[in-house]
Chain A
Amino acid sequence: MSSHAACGAREGEPEALLQVRDLAVHYVGAGGEEAAVLEEASFDLAVGETLGVLGESGGGKSTLALAVLGLLPPNGRVTAGRVSFHGRDLLRLSRRDLDQVRGDEASMIFQEPGVSLNPCMRAGDQVADVARVHRRWPAKRCREEARAMLELVGFDDSDGVFGAYPHQLSGGQKQRVVIAQALVCRPALLIADEPTASLDATTQAEIVALLRDLRQRLGLAMLFVSHDVALLHSLVDRMIVMYAGQIVESGSRDQVVLKPSHPYTRELLRCVPGGAEKGVGPGRPRLPTILGSPPDPARWPPGCRFEPRCPDRLESCGARRPEPRPAGDAGTVRCLLYDD
């Protein structure tokens, strides 16, 4: 692998739909201090592929998803890197050109569907509006497309939903409307940031099944951000794991979940309660935990960022920064244990 050992990047394959290289983001705090919340993030996403982004809060997974489509909040700024999508660098597009890509060729959905919808506009009109803005079709055609899309996302009564206001819809229904909005222009890429985290288990399963189905039908590539390991494992092709603003591991979903390379991934997976009862009453064994807490983004440790909490740390880990290394089957790991 070259010096640009990209986490998740597979060399020698046809060009990816989305290629992210060395992406870095800084946030500016209230006092003007800068924090490097994302660093050296590199990955590829092929046409029709689903890539999961796993991590805990503060790991940088939402920042990564937002930065790809230029949706960082005003205090966030991309400081380095390249995001090429369909061969164009999204980071160098004008606001106007970027607006043409977003919602048309690439869309994003979020955790709270209620926040993404206009409370004063009928659901169907909100879907039709996306088609109107991007396609400039006549109003009638936009409505027809919207209705067809609402059917595609699983509404049997598409007329009823079309005329409903967001407050008349349940959380799962709202998320379906948002998905219809995101897909009405048939994008090649959907970025989903915890789209099911606010839904109950059965609704979550329905939405995941819907996304799986749409991915097939529309040849959609997905970047799916979640803290839920089991959910990601059931949905994605490959996974990247983030900790303290870096991609610490990447690989096929089975490799990451069943044979994790990075100590953080391994420790995180151990925190998930196992599949069987562990005895009854308060005497049941305690869950494994990760010592300490994640470092402060304003003061990253000089060496490996997981070193202060790592059970496998070597003497050199506190001082030397690990670089991504190839690991397992087309995966990468950022850990000195794997250095030769």
Chain B
Amino acid sequence: MTTEAELDDVSESLLSARGLRKRYTRRGGWSKPLAVQALDGVAVEVVSGSTVAVVGESGSGKSTLARCLALLERPDSGSIRFRGDDLLAANRRSVTAARRRIQMIFQDPASALDPRWTAAEIVGEPLRIRGRERARERRRQALGAMEQVGLLARWADRRPRELSGGQRQRLAIARALILEPEILILDEALSALDLSVQARIVNLLLDLQASRDLAYVFISHELSMVRYLADEVVVLQTGKVVERDTVAGVFNEPRHPHTRELLAATPVLERAAAGGG
């Protein structure tokens, strides 16, 4: 397992979080409102062009970590450095600039897309907010981003409900790509998709990573997909990193009991000895 001290030696890191803490007050349960330490000193290192997977049970802090790394949520303490700049100490301008470089994709594309807008408007929205290009140029770029994720130009004027689940997720990816980010944070982004659609989105993510040197933070409970996509795996349990290793290390020689528990809980598809490709 890599300790936090060892992590500090990584020099080519793009995004580097240290000692992240975040506390929520949760209502419900049998007793009174409960303070939950969602993140309790978490460190993550994201290197250009690579994929870090974050796994753990629900309540382990996966999504809070994703939201903190995407700068949608401010941790109570800790640091998040993007190319060396401490974003939690930085002024608003540099945070806005960094936010464009770090984009997030959510589980349910239907609720992440405005149902009244057309595909091209949705994809072009980040450009509109940035306010540099005129409408015609925005549309041209939006169509370019759609093409990159395999959406046809003739679908530009369709609304989300006229697209399938896989197409909607592609649309969300196109919107995330239009500001040319360096990191995509994928919070269960494949979970709502059918198997055959998942496979295509995975291939798209790999193609984009190869052509743009994109880094992914891949949050998922689907361990078979994690094993396929990730270079490094971070295992969270109640807000703490309990194991951090290469994908082969975590899956072949899990060291922490909780990692073994997670692996044991997931049914693995047995295959014919002859193998189907």
List chain A positions with a Cβ less than 8 A from chain B: 56-57, 160, 164, 167-168, 171, 199-205, 208, 227-231, 233-234, 257-260, 266-278, 280-284, 286-290, 293
Interchain CB contact under 8 A, B225 and A259 = no
> A288 and B227 in contact (CB under 8 A), knowing A201-B221, A201-B262?
no
Interchain CB contact under 8 A, B267 and A280 = no
Interface centre among B195, B198, B261, B268 (most CB of A within 10 A): B195
Chain B residues lying within 8 Å of A205, measured Cβ to Cβ, are 264-267
> A168 and B30 in contact (CB under 8 A), knowing A272-B224, A281-B50, A288-B277?
yes
> A202 and B57 in contact (CB under 8 A), knowing A273-B225, A287-B199, A287-B228?
yes
> A201 and B223 in contact (CB under 8 A), knowing A160-B30, A257-B270, A290-B196?
yes
Interchain residue pairs with CB less than 8 A apart (13): A56-B194, A56-B197, A202-B261, A202-B265, A203-B57, A205-B266, A228-B267, A229-B269, A230-B224, A233-B269, A260-B276, A276-B227, A280-B246
Nearest to B49 among chain A residues (CB) is A282
Interchain CB contact under 8 A, A289 and B203 = yes
Nearest to B261 among chain A residues (CB) is A202
Number of residues on chain B facing chain A (CB within 8 A): 48
Chain A residues lying within 8 Å of B57, measured Cβ to Cβ, are 200-203
Nearest to A56 among chain B residues (CB) is B194
> A269 and B269 in contact (CB under 8 A), knowing A171-B58, A229-B195, A278-B228?
yes
Interchain CB contact under 8 A, B164 and A293 = yes
Count of inter-chain pairs, beta carbons less than 8 A = 126
Closest 4 CB pairs of A and B: A273-B228, A205-B265, A282-B210, A56-B194
Chain A residues lying within 8 Å of B5, measured Cβ to Cβ, are none
B248 in contact (CB, < 8 A): yes
Nearest to B60 among chain A residues (CB) is A200
Bound-state CA distance A168–B202 (Å) is: 37
The contact of B271 among A258, A284, A286, by CB within 8 Å, is A258
State which residues 241-255 of B face A: CB under 8 Å. Answer: 246-248, 251
Bound-state CA distance A272–B197 (Å) is: 11
- DSSP class of A's interface residues: helix, strand, loop or mixed? loop
Bound-state CA distance A231–B209 (Å) is: 30
B231 in contact (CB, < 8 A): yes
The contact of B276 among A227, A270, A273, by CB within 8 Å, is A270
Interchain CB contact under 8 A, B265 and A204 = yes
> A274 and B271 in contact (CB under 8 A), knowing A202-B265, A280-B231?
yes
Bound-state CA distance A275–B248 (Å) is: 11
State which residues 50-102 of B face A: CB under 8 Å. Answer: 50, 57-58
Interchain CB contact under 8 A, B196 and A271 = yes
Given contact pairs A271-B195, A287-B203, a sample of 20 additional A-B residue pairs in the complex whose CB atoms are under 8 Å apart = A56-B194, A57-B165, A200-B58, A205-B266, A229-B195, A233-B267, A257-B269, A258-B272, A268-B195, A271-B196, A273-B228, A275-B269, A277-B247, A277-B248, A282-B207, A282-B209, A284-B228, A289-B196, A293-B164, A293-B166
